[in-house]
Chain A
Amino acid sequence: MRNSLHKWILGVAGVIILAIFPRLAGIYYTNVFLGFATFALYAVTLNLQLGYMGVLSFGHAMFFGTGAYATALALTHIQGFPLLPAVLVGGLAGGLLALILSPLLVRVSGTAFAMLTLAFGQLIFVLALKFREVTGGEDGIGGFRVPPLNIPGMVSIDMTNQINFYYFAVAVIVVCLFILWFYTKTPFGTLVVGIRDNAMRIDYLGFKLPQTRAVNLIVCGTFAGIAGAVHALLQKLVSTVGVLDIQTSFEPIMMAYIGGVGSFFGPIIGSGVLRLLEDLVIRFTERIGLVNGAIFILVVLYGPTGIVGLFHSAKAKWFHKEKVS
């Protein structure tokens, strides 16, 4: 009961903070926050593969990037392409890619899966670089305007206003996160975690392993694509470096680990920590990658349960002390 009340209070507080954030923080930090939020969603989708199903994807950027490119292309080539469909088309592209790759990806796990996703991720990166006519190569696609949010018959909200865009983007991300959170609570979500613990037994219990893996992959791909779409709208520029490169595939892995792979909110916390860290470190050195890498190594070595894990251990110790005294 108390737990439930706590969660409600946290939730309401969260909503209030989100609502007044732009007024408090100013435009620059609002955009930084959106960057964090976008990658938080992206990292959560990676964690649904890593923490929940137990497979390490080294090419997750392919879903993120494909979504980003899809959105950019739609807005560039189709006059008057509306806002919400622009976001959804990113999700569709990510999901479709996952669907196409799933017959190959679901047959393997472990190191082979990591290698396969690395291969596909690099493949798509190279393809995007080479087919300049479509993707603009290294220069990418830019200069598209974020369309207004049109609610038919009612109002048209201008999205070039950063504050408006903030509310829209945050709404999209929060809705997506909620859907994914609910997804982990369904019977299917339990099944996915079962695969992590013992894929063979899941097979023997009567579940279809490849199909289950495929559905999880498609869910992850779709929502990573949506994250990519929001990213594209935020940056207003999509190029291979930043959405399809290896670094973009590694970031969510780092975020998940720092925050805690075993929990749903871990990657979100990880994304926040990483952003704050980068903002801090960049004042001293350009080599944020070095600091990130070093922290990542330390986390894997000494704190693999991440921040959430540390929190749980601390909580357990604290309650134990309470009981004892």
Chain B
Amino acid sequence: MSPTAVLYVAQAFHGLAYGMLLFLVASGLTMIFGMMGILNIAHASFFMLAGYFCYTVMTLTGNFWLALLIAPVVAGIFGILTERFLLRTVHVQGHLAELLITVGIMMVILEGVKAGWGTESMIVKIPRSLDGLISIAGLTYPIYRLFIIGLSIVILGFMALILFKTRLGKIVRAAVSDADMVSALGINTPLVFMLVFGIGTWLAGVAGAVAGPLLTVFPGMADQMGLDAFVVVVVGGFGSLFGAFVVALFLGELNAYGIQFIPRLAPVLMFAFMAIVLSFKPMGLFGERE
């Protein structure tokens, strides 16, 4: 294969890996919005939190797989606590207050990690089993990126299974679509809310734990991912998993190619696109809920 073709394909995989991570983060965000009407400004903060916990567990135990297991769960627990004690309390005040509380949470988590781990970038080493390059069809590609793609697919497949093939999944999907109706049917919506919020943050945590070796763990880790996730949710449609999937992959590729070929304009394009979509279709391209 010619060198440029190699470059294009490599970029495509980079984009896919990032797009998958992005979808992990954005899927939770869009489900939370669809169901609770809250745009969780702090969502990417849970992504970052898991990255830090992954680093700590790795440092303590040297075992990446253990870190990968524990860190997202911790993030998920923080998520559940947040929902139960902060969001639920402020719910009566309306959407504005909910939005603002998530802003406060974002700030607290950001400053909290700085206080707990310092402001330096933390290097998380790729475990030996996943390190190095692999040769496929004449291309060499980092194994870890393929791992990211693979893991994301497995997790998302698992989530899809639960969502579409189980009763719980049906309840969650119904709640995302119309929480009031589900409540009227006698289902314990507060519990469902807490569950979905916890799972959403857990998903973000998985992405964060896995992204650590890739992006390095530092206080600004949440910024890029956070904004991208908003763009995905906004453009893909509030509450639409399909929309989030499409836009996440698209954005991943756009970033990969954009950074490669038009570094100056890439972020501008993204925001411009989001601004245009929001102005004319406030519910996003595939969204249904207001």
Contact = CB atoms under 8 A, between A and B. Distances in A.
A contact patch SS: helix
A301 B107 CA distance: 15
Contacts of A84: none
Interface string A112-130: 1011101110110011001
Interface in B17-75: 39
B97 A110 contact: no
A296 B107 contact: yes
Contacts of A35: none
B234 interface: yes
B95 interface: yes
A250 to B, nearest CB: 6
Given A123-B268, A301-B101, A293 B107 contact: yes
A149 to B, nearest CB: 39
B90 A301 contact: yes
A305 B147 CA distance: 50
Interface string A258-301: 00000000000000000000000000010101101110110011
A189 interface: no
Interface size class on chain A is: 20 to 34
Contacts of B264: 130
B10 to A, nearest CB: 25
A304 B278 contact: no
Interface string B254-268: 000000000010011
A197 to B, nearest CB: 13
A291 to B, nearest CB: 8
B149 interface: no
Interface of B: 39, 86, 89-90, 93, 95-97, 99-101, 103-108, 110-112, 114-115, 227, 230-231, 234, 264, 267-268, 271-272, 274-276, 278-280, 282
30 contacts: A104-B279, A111-B95, A114-B99, A115-B39, A115-B234, A116-B279, A119-B230, A119-B231, A119-B274, A119-B278, A122-B267, A122-B271, A123-B271, A123-B272, A126-B271, A127-B268, A287-B114, A287-B115, A289-B111, A289-B114, A290-B107, A290-B112, A290-B114, A292-B107, A293-B108, A293-B110, A296-B103, A300-B100, A304-B93, A304-B97
Give the 3 A-B CB pairs with smallest separation, nearest first. Answer: A293-B107, A290-B111, A297-B104
